[in-house]
Amino acid sequence: MKYIAFDLGASSGKMMLGSFDGNRLDTEVIHRFPNCQISANGSLYWNFLGIYQNLIEGLKTGFRKADGQIAGLGMDSYCNDFGLIGKSGDIITQMHCYRDARTKRNRDKIYDLISEKELHQLTGNQNALFNTAIQLAAMIQQGDGYLLEGCETLLHLPDLLAYMLTGERKSEYTIASVTQMFDYRTNLWHKEVLKRFMIPERILAPIVEPGSVVGHATREMQSLLGTGGFDVIAVGEHDTASAVAALPALSGNPAYISSGTWSLMGVETCDFFTNETTFKYNIAFEGGVEHRYRMLKNVMGLWIIQECRREYQTMGQEYSFGELAALAAKEAPFKALIDPDWEEFYEPGRMLEKIRKFCSMTGQKEPETPGQFVRAVEESLAFKYRWVMDALEEINGKKIDCIHILGGGGQDRLLDQFTANACRRPVYVGPTEAALAGNFLMQMKAKGEIRDVLQGREIIRKSFDIEEFLPADQAVWEEKYQYFKTLLKSV
């Protein structure tokens, strides 16, 4: 059968046509488009209708290429951002970006309602300002709670797109599970958290499992696309859940890094638990497909480099990511290191200045050239992965034997090699379109073409190239890692 998968990242969106012949999954890109946050009137937004328009364009291309024979469509994206549907069925708000500063401005008032420790214990999620619960609590604190009282339904980004195609209002499990409003004990919305933050439970949609059909394209949608009917399928709608579904590891104790704007590093567990150590390291338990938990930590990821690149663009200097990595490769090693998760790196803008500030605060020489900046970021990311790996091993009491890099960030071969060096583990890279691959798997499951995700992972191994990077220069990387850890403590 043939399927269309839609994957939206913070910096770009992509759509693929996938054909499964019972043995291999063949994929073809049918549409790409840029995505970005828009800063307006002191707030940060996404261009949701632009995203929708690109979805429609991609669907038209996909249907044309497949002669109209599409068994399903699955959509995944970054998590936590949402739209509100009013009584008329209209979308009644702009979609804020999770980096919008309203959460930071209201942080103290929000955590006075439920402390970070209690929130972690109740939900198993990491404490982060981007969580939907914190965004909603911030809206209420700043006087915009009437929008929640007045609306009918809140839907997360892929669920909102599904609503526009099918008219159905459903909340997919993996994306619901990372909102800090979800209760793993009942697999329903978390009544206590909602009550304490004063978020009306009635606006949250029923939760559906990945691998189930959400609905059928409406007649209006069919005529807009010039096609017959097709199913919209709930996949791992949180992109990280889809990427991890496509993990091409069949045994051992691997860690994964879902690498893109964020680097989400973790392991798959069958259980969810919280304790002092998970709180100390701010570890997240996120719902995976077939209720395999993703025990992971967010690392700031390629966002820092994306922002440096954007800044160079505004200065009239155009570099592709490949060119930046090539410049970094020519620079001398370990000239400067940063903590990629330093709070100031979270918000957009002035990234070069913020890196310089971190270096001067910690008594290091400031980078000057694009290559020096990128080298500092990439070495630091690799060391942060090592630090997270150590924390995951401490929590689980189990040695990690290799690392799989999933997603577009894996195309940065310098960072892949640095990761192997810093973590002292073999690194396997691919699929670079992991979220789309995992998205296809759950559609194939919904249509009865595969039994479960384990069978799906075997298909991924047969269908995509996986590249190996072995650790090198271990003594010097180990020595510098000790220095890196002192930096984490000093800021």
Q: What 3-state DSSP class applies to 73?
A: strand
| Minimum CB distance to ligand L2XQQQDX smaller for 80 or for 171 | 80
Contacts of 101 (CB under 8 A, 6+ apart): 42, 43, 44, 347
Q: Is the dihedral of CA 64, 66, 71, 75 positive or negative?
A: negative
| Binding test (CB under 6 A) with ligand L2XQQQDX, winner from 6, 163, 184, 262 | 262
**Given 100, 231, 239, 416, which residue is catalytic?**
239
Site membership for ligand L2XQQQDX, residue 239 (CB under 6 A): yes
Tally helices (H) and strands (E) across the chain: 20, 22
Residue 4, CB half-sphere, CA atoms under 13 Å: how many? 25
- Smallest Cα–Cα separation from 288: which of 234, 253, 233, 240? 240
Map the footprint of ligand L2XQQQDX across residues 127-186, applying CB under 6 A.
130
- What is the token pair recorded at 363? 């008594």
Whole-angstrom Cα Rg for the chain: 22
Binding segment for ligand L2XQQQDX among 43-51, 234-242, 309-317, 419-427 (CB under 6 A)?
234-242
- Are residues 370 and 330 in contact, defined by beta-carbon separation less than 8 angstroms? no
Residue 79 in the binding site for ligand L2XQQQDX (CB under 6 A) = yes
- Backbone torsions φ then ψ of 72, nearest 5 degrees: -170, 165
Q: How far is the CB of 46 from ligand L2XQQQDX (least distance, A)?
A: 12
Task: Examine residue 189 and tell whether it contacts ligand L2XQQQDX (CB under 6 A).
Answer: no
242 binds ligand L2XQQQDX (CB under 6 A): no
Q: Of the candidates 389, 398, 397, which has an alpha carbon nearest to the alpha carbon of residue 426?
A: 389
List the one residue from 85, 247, 264, 442 that touches ligand L2XQQQDX (CB under 6 A): 264
Nearer residue to ligand L2XQQQDX within complex by CB, 79 or 148: 79
- Residue 329 CB, nearest approach to ligand L2XQQQDX (Å): 26
Shortest distance (Å) from residue 470 CB to ligand L2XQQQDX: 28
- Shortest distance (Å) from residue 73 CB to ligand L2XQQQDX: 20
**Per CB under 6 A, does 306 bind ligand L2XQQQDX?**
no
The verdict on 78 binding ligand L2XQQQDX (CB under 6 A) reads yes
339 included as an active-site residue:
no
Bridge partners of residue 204, in order along the sequence: 154
Answer for which of 37, 80, 135, 180 binds ligand L2XQQQDX (CB under 6 A) is 80
DSSP letters spanning 138-204: HHHHTT-HHHHHH-SEEEEHHHHHHHHHH----EEHHHHTTSS-EETTTTEE-HHHHHHHT--GGGB
**Contacting positions for ligand L2XQQQDX (CB under 6 A):** 78-80, 98, 130, 238-240, 260, 262, 264, 298
Residues belonging to the active site: 239
